[in-house]
Amino acid sequence: MGNTNLLKHSLSKASMLVAAALLMTLTACHSEKKIVYFQDSKDSETIQMQTLKVVRVRPADKIAIIVKCEDMEASSLFNQFTVNQIMGSTQRVSVTGSNGIVGYTVDEEGNIDFPVLGKLHVAGLTRQEISNMVKEELEKQGQARGANVSVEFVDLGVTVLGEVKAPGRVNINRDSYTLLDAIAAAGDLTIDAQRDVTITRIVGDTVKNYMVDLRNQKEVYSSPAFYLSQNDVIYAAPTAKKARTSTVNGNTVLSASFWVSIASLIASVLSIALRNVGTTAH
């Protein structure tokens, strides 16, 4: 009788251990990942950021240059126009907004062919520097004194891929465009994304990769990739769990129903064993 009770106790204890092991496995499989950004941030803490970086024009980029002066006829010499068909007639419309604007494509040598002024070298310059150069040339040649010159990016952007809500290309809409701006424009990372993202940047004839852990605020703001350049690619990789669910076997092994079935089977076997022990004892 003592042996029977001992066996029952052992089986009961084994059952509890199995249940605990299954619970730990389920917890490990389905626990929330560390998804919170800036986990190291502290109130009133000062972080040394990267030096402010503005976008500089490169060959193959497209920019729009808009010249405004008191003499509208003089302005029309420098501004590109779109042509709209209205009720069978042609109307010339100057575009000064960011949508549908007609721009200049920078050639391989870094130049654009600007009306009246001719060839201008703009590669390596910022929007403000291009604006100042055009204004100075207009003043020097006496073409449009006191003109206001603005420069806009046309179709400059970065690509955001992977586990984000809206992957694709997003436009650069300011001079200092950041990694956080791009992620926000893509709808933020999904719950299944790893928080350390990769930024791939073309530098000359080479490709350079930067890894940034969004959970670490200091790392984000001090990274050389915090300020983005045109044509950068940001990739948010899926978590290991998400990656495994893309395969049939991985999905089966990690599914809750699979583990529930295993737990149910083990519980049934232990229950039958306990009943058999009781029957044998009698």
pLDDT tens-place string over residues 138-162? 888 877 777 889 999 988 999 999 9
Q: Which residues pair with 193 in a beta bridge?
A: 238
Residue 253 pLDDT greater than 60, yes or no: no
Parallel, antiparallel or unpaired: strands 157-162 and 233-236: parallel
Structural element, H or E, at residue 78: helix 72-78
At residue 18, the pLDDT reads 54
At residue 85, the pLDDT reads 40
Q: Which of the pair, 29 or 215, is modelled with greater confidence?
A: 215
Q: Which of 96-100, 119-123, 273-277 has the lowest mean pLDDT?
A: 96-100
Q: Tell me, what DSSP letter sits at residue 52? A: P
Per-residue confidence band for 98, with pLDDT thresholds at 50, 70 and 90 = very low
CA 243 to chain centre: 19
Query: Interhelix angle for 256-281 vs 2-30, to 10°?
Result: 180
At residue 12, the pLDDT reads 57
Residues 97-112 have a mean pLDDT of 78
At residue 184, the pLDDT reads 97
Residue 96 pLDDT greater than 60, yes or no: no
Q: Which of the pair, 242 or 56, is modelled with greater confidence?
A: 56
- Mean pLDDT of the chain, nearest integer: 79
Q: How far apart are CA 135 and CA 146, in angstroms?
A: 8
At residue 238, the pLDDT reads 94
What kind of architecture, by CATH, is found in domain 62-153?
2-Layer Sandwich (3.30)
Residue 229 pLDDT greater than 60, yes or no: yes
Residue 281 pLDDT greater than 60, yes or no: no
At residue 5, the pLDDT reads 59
Per-residue confidence band for 92, with pLDDT thresholds at 50, 70 and 90 = very low
Residue 235 pLDDT greater than 80, yes or no: yes
Q: How far apart are CA 193 and CA 3, in angstroms?
A: 54
Per-residue confidence band for 17, with pLDDT thresholds at 50, 70 and 90 = low
Give how far Cα 71 sits from Cα of 139, 142, 239, Å.
14, 13, 60
Q: Which amino acid is at 198?
A: T
Q: Which amino acid is at 243?
A: A
- Which stretch, 15-19, 68-72, 114-118, has highest mean pLDDT? 114-118
Residue 199 pLDDT greater than 80, yes or no: yes
Q: How far apart are CA 231 and CA 171, in angstroms?
A: 10
Q: Which residues pair with 152 in a beta bridge?
A: 64
Q: Which amino acid is at 248?
A: V
Q: How far apart are CA 161 and CA 202, in angstroms?
A: 16
Residues 99-122 have a mean pLDDT of 87
CA 268 to chain centre: 49
The full set of domain ranges for the chain reads 10-32+242-281, 62-153, 157-238
φ and ψ of 242, to 5 deg: -60, -40
Residue 236 tokens, joined: 């948010």
- Only one residue has tokens 């955001």, namely 160
Residues 79-94 have a mean pLDDT of 46
Residue among 242, 245, 272 at smallest CA distance from 258: 245
pTM recorded for the entire structure: 0.70
* First-residue to last-residue Cα distance in the chain: 9
CATH of 157-238, one of 3.10.560.10, 3.90.230.10, 3.40.50.11890, 3.10.129.10: 3.10.560.10
Q: Which residues pair with 68 in a beta bridge?
A: 148
Per-residue confidence band for 126, with pLDDT thresholds at 50, 70 and 90 = very high
Residue 79 pLDDT greater than 90, yes or no: no
Q: Which of the pair, 249 or 262, is modelled with greater confidence?
A: 262
Residues 87-101 have a mean pLDDT of 44
